[in-house]
Amino acid sequence: MNPPDIDRTFAGSIPQLYERYLVPLIFEPYAADLASRLVLRQPSRVLEVAAGTGVVTRQLANALPAGVSILATDLNQPMLDQAAAAGTTRPVEWRQADAMQLPYPDEAFDVVVCQFAVMFFPNKQKAFSEARRVLRPGGCFIFNVWDRIEQNEFANTVTQSLTSAFSDNPPRFLARVPHGYHDISVIAQDLACGGFERSLVFTTLAARSRADSPRIPAVAYCQGTPLRSEIETRDPSRLVVATEAAAAAIECRFGSGAVDGKIQAHIITIER
């Protein structure tokens, strides 16, 4: 059994490894997609929830007019520190905040955006209720979630490799959390329970995940996500072993040079 909150802890060296490896590996294409969708909305005030190390924030700062206010929040201060250190092309307000208790008044924003984070919320209906509360009437909540793990080749390969490395109790973080909230009917029900009365619109978008070597996705997933904490909870000395097992599995499936795997996600849009 994992300690409480282990799936939501981004601390230690995780933020740096996340930004260095995982952002270019899987997050950048979907960040650009979200930003392009927001531009069409022509918002004046944007709230980003669970901004992580700022990959979407940077895209928004580049894509939206200078007069548009961007407020970026995250529960984990170390992730915000990494985001602020990376910087943006124009001023952005960074603030530590819990998605289930946003520190903003009612109807304060035109758009609330969240990239690959609703899966981590312990009470999704409460978080959705908060997103709705701070949206003006007619405002838009837009977020994305990973599709099932079988549609995301590197994540699936890493998970399978750990089944062999930890046969008695394999770490299942990737399948359980990032890839564990892909059922659109469940998401629609949670949004309705959060107060959204309109029907959601969703798009399933496939992309490619590329790296110069098999070791890069292995390090990205095993050491740059809370999977690291799950591995170390079982045996701190086995992080290197787990990473090497993941790299070997990726090399076996995708080759020893540059690797290229499928990723797939759902983009959900719903208006208040």
pLDDT, tens digit, for every residue of 52-93?
Answer: 999 999 999 999 999 999 999 999 999 999 999 999 999 999
- Could you give the CA distance from residue 5 to residue 84 in angstroms, rounded to a whole number? 24
Average pLDDT, the chain: 95
pLDDT score for 7:
74
Q: Which pLDDT value is given to residue 164?
A: 83
Residue keyed to tokens 């959390």: 177
- What pLDDT score does 9 carry? 75
The pLDDT tens digits of the residues spanning 139-160 come to 999 999 999 999 999 999 999 9
Tokens found for residue 25: 């590996």
DSSP state of 92: -
Tokens of residue 68, six digits: 């548009």
Where exactly are the structural domains of the chain? 6-271
137 pLDDT above the threshold of 70: yes
Structure tokens at 239: 């992080």
Residues with Cβ within 8 Å of 57's Cβ and at least 6 positions away in sequence, in order, are 48, 51, 70, 72, 83, 88, 92
List Cα–Cα distances, 37 to 31, 167, 172, in angstroms.
10, 43, 32
Helix (H, G, I), strand (E, B) or coil at 213: coil
Q: What is the pLDDT of residue 15?
A: 92
DSSP letters for 16-29: HHIIIIIIIIIIHH
What is the model's pLDDT at position 2? 54
Q: Which of 139, 102, 115 is nearest to 56 (CA)?
A: 115
Least confident segment among 16-25, 189-198, 219-228, 231-240? 231-240
111-125: pLDDT as tens digits:
999 999 999 999 999
Alpha-carbon span 83 to 175, nearest angstrom: 26
The pLDDT of residue 3 is 54
Distance, CA of 182 to CA of 164 (rounded, Å): 26
Number of alpha carbons in the 13 Å side-chain half-sphere of residue 165: 26
Share of the chain above pLDDT 90, in %: 92
Q: Structure tokens of 182?
A: 């892909």
pLDDT score recorded for residue 168: 85
Distance CA(64)–CA(42), nearest Å, equals 8
**What pLDDT is attached to residue 69?**
98
Biggest CA pair distance of the chain: 55
Higher-confidence residue of 49 and 167: namely 49
Decide: residue 251, CB within 10 A, 0-12 exposed, 13-18 middle, 19+ buried.
middle
Topology of domain 6-271 in CATH is: Rossmann fold (3.40.50)
Torsion angles phi and psi, residue 87, rounded to 5: 80, 170
- Tokens for 127? 């978080």
Whether the pLDDT of residue 1 is over 70: the answer is no
User: What is the predicted pLDDT for the residue at 195?
Assistant: 98
User: How far, in Å, are 14, 40, 106 from residue 134 at the CA level?
Assistant: 30, 20, 4
